[in-house]
Amino acid sequence: MTTAPSDPIEPIALETQEISKHFGAVRALDQLSVAIPKKGMTSIVGPNGSGKSTLINVLSGVLPLDGGIVIIDGLGLRVVKAHQTPSHGMTRSFQEVRLFDQISVWDNIMAVLTDRRLNPAMLERSRPRYKEKAKSILERVGMWEKRDSLAMDLSYGQRKLLEIGRAIALDVNIYLFDEPFAGLFPQMLERAKAIMNDLRDRGRTIILISHNMDIVRELPDHLVVLDSGALLAEGNVEEVLNSPEVIDAYLGT
Amino acid sequence: MPPAFLAAIDHKRLGQLPRQMWNSSQGNVEVWANVVIIAWAAAFMLWQGEGFAISVGTIFAIWAILAVSLNLVVGFTGLLSIGHVGFFGTGAYVMAVLSSTATYDQPHSVGIPTFGLPFFAALPVSALLAGLVALMVGIAFNRFRDDIYVLVSFGFTIIAFNVFLNWSSLTRGPFGIHEIPRPEIGGMVFDGELEFLLLALAFLALIVLVSWLLVSSSFGRVLTAIREDERAIEVFGYRATHYKLAVWVISAMMAGLAGGLFASWTSFIDPNSFILLESVLLVCIVILGGLASIRGSLLGAMAFVLLAEGMRFLPFLPNEYVGQARQVVLGLLLVLLMLFRPQGLAGRYKL
């Protein structure tokens, strides 16, 4: 059962058609069809093991699709490759922090800013515009003073924020955040929320996985509820949260 | 009751003193390593004289080129390869075949084609062919990583050695290739040991410069990111396989160049110079000096050469045990280093 989107002619940023992903006998994604509206923030919620992270992982090519089609900005894909994520206009953060541990905070940001092609990259020294961009990102996530320390020496919250910083270093249309708020202290949480809100104000699409129901009630414009790899409900946040099947399956217990 | 002056000593802090001294010395390990190794080298030169210094210097230059180039792959990109000696050997054999002036007119000698090309014409071919072999090998290796990478590169070393040993019509197999000439350009012949040392050091300087330019470029930064998390950097639009292949080929070309230098320096090569042990020693040098540190590789190569050549002169060590003793000492050094300083003498990155 799905709730119809509030506005049927709302443009779509990203759509999946019957995508599947199996881990052995476990169906992490089971013929999932979901459409994410353009602009604004969509939150994906669901119990543990409902396929939220798997969805983000197949969308960014970290895990290969077992079936179905992903449509990004009108482009249908049966195979999503990880290295094409930015060219699809997407960037992401990881649930388990995956920074480049044994290089500096500064290099963690610079690494994703530079030229993707081999030959220019070999000759390229740090360009002023990349440096400025990295500086603004690090100031944004409050890590400018820490720029020379190794990423592995940061606290958990700082690592989490640096991951968000690394994701927003790419100026793209769709931002995928996998549990960006987990384990953040209130001050850092506010900083992370401000970053998300700023992205929304600039007309970007944000897809957000969160377990924090306060945030789910507060931030997103649109809600997608997954259960056992299938769509349980989607639509306006209030409507979805109050719909009986969601209360039954997930929130009511 | 202890006397008052004893009671005044804070025993707890006294107990911590050795650890504190140890900790504060940690930051200076690199400085101390430099001082000790350079002093050691200087002492040897004064003691053993100029001829010794020159030949040790040349051996150092060749090992250092190999170590710096291998560090690009092992230290910066995180691909633990023990296949480097295969490229070193390729370069050496290309140089030998192209430049040897030997004639095989004895009735039973194994003959091979010789071209008698000058050194400076053969050297680029050494590097290019080593790079070509690396390209083919690298495409196959690219799907592997971590411990499997060690195994497949091990396999490559074995195959390379067997090719050198058994492709008699090109390498003369176990007989080796003689009469590889010294470099000569425009009437200037590097036949003296000192001239060759200077040439080898010039090549080392070139390799260090190129390596430094590479690792301090955006390319180098992406390599370290691949080392840390290959999947994560791919999501940001970098094709890790291309980067890995590129650095692998560049590194192999440098090893091929070292091979060409080596062949010309010794004037005779046979497959025994390109056994697996040499590859393992090379990885030891890189780890000893410090992963992801070019300075560390120079330091490691220097320490290794001093150790290897220096043990010849230990009065209590009979000559026939020198070879084995070197390996024991190097192995022991490596174990101690992994226990107390896993990043190596000058490195920052731990395996």
- pLDDT one-digit tens code per residue, B138-156: 999 988 888 899 999 999 9
Q: State the best of A118, A154, A178 to mutate against chain B, taking most chain B CBs within 10 Å.
A: A118
CATH number (domain holding residue A212): 3.40.50.300
Q: Per residue in B49-64, pLDDT tens?
A: 888 889 899 999 999 9
Task: Indicate the range of B123-132, B195-204, B335-344 predicted with least confidence.
Answer: B335-344
Q: Give the 3-state secondary structure of residue A5.
A: coil
Between β-strands A205-209 and A174-178, what pairing exists: parallel, antiparallel or unpaired? parallel
Nearest to B230 by CA among B149, B172, B317: B149
Report residue A25 CA to chain centroid gap.
27
| Cβ(A124)–Cβ(B214) below 8 Å | no
Report the pLDDT averaged over residues B203-229: 95
Partner A contacted by B215 (CB < 8 A): no
Q: Per residue in A107-141, pLDDT tens?
A: 999 999 988 888 888 888 878 899 999 999 999 99
Within a domain: A106? no
Q: Please list every residue in chain A whose beta carbon sits closer than 8 Å to the beta carbon of residue B235.
A: 60-62, 82-83, 85, 91-92
Beta bridge partners of B184: B189
Return the structure tokens found at B56.
Answer: 């040790």
* Number of domain units in chain A: 1
Within a domain: B349? no
Partner B contacted by A91 (CB < 8 A): yes
Asked if the model's pLDDT at residue B2 lies above 90, the reply is no
Within a domain: A198? no
Beta bridge partners of A37: A12
* Number of domain units in chain B: 1
Nearest to A27 by CA among A48, A54, A64: A54
Within a domain: A8? yes
Instruction: Report the mean per-residue pLDDT for chain A.
Output: 89
Within a domain: B71? yes
Please judge whether B219 and A62 are an interchain contact, meaning their C-beta atoms are less than 8 angstroms apart: no
Portion of chain A with pLDDT greater than 70, in percent? 94
Within a domain: A239? yes
Within a domain: A177? no
Asked if the model's pLDDT at residue B219 lies above 50, the reply is yes
Q: Please list every residue in chain A whose beta carbon sits closer than 8 Å to the beta carbon of residue B240.
A: 83
Q: Per residue in B274-296, pLDDT tens?
A: 999 899 889 989 998 999 999 99
Q: How far is B304 from chain A (nearest CA, A)?
A: 27
Nearest to B112 by CA among B94, B124, B85: B94
Within a domain: B348? no
Instruction: Report the mean per-residue pLDDT for chain B.
Output: 87
CATH number (domain holding residue B176): 1.10.3470
| Cβ(A48)–Cβ(A229) below 8 Å | no
Q: Per residue in A184-206, pLDDT tens?
A: 999 999 999 999 999 999 999 99
Within a domain: B31? no
Partner B contacted by A99 (CB < 8 A): yes
| Cβ(B247)–Cβ(A118) below 8 Å | no
Within a domain: B27? no
Nearest to B173 by CA among B162, B182, B188: B162
Q: Please list every residue in chain A whose beta carbon sits closer than 8 Å to the beta carbon of residue B243.
A: 118
Asked if the model's pLDDT at residue A58 lies above 50, the reply is yes
Partner B contacted by A126 (CB < 8 A): yes
- Give the pLDDT band (50/70/90) at residue A32: very high
- Give the pLDDT band (50/70/90) at residue A144: very high
Dihedral sign for Cα atoms in the order B7, B8, B9, B12: positive
| Cβ(A173)–Cβ(A205) below 8 Å | yes
Within a domain: B328? yes
Between β-strands A222-227 and A230-236, what pairing exists: parallel, antiparallel or unpaired? antiparallel
Higher per-residue pLDDT: B270 or B103: B270
- Containing domain of residue B237, as a range? 55-103+110-340
Asked if the model's pLDDT at residue A1 lies above 50, the reply is no
Q: Please list every residue in chain A whose beta carbon sits closer than 8 Å to the beta carbon of residue B227.
A: 102
- Which residues 241-300 of B are in CB contact (within 8 Å) with A? 242-243, 246
- Containing domain of residue A32, as a range? 1-79+205-253
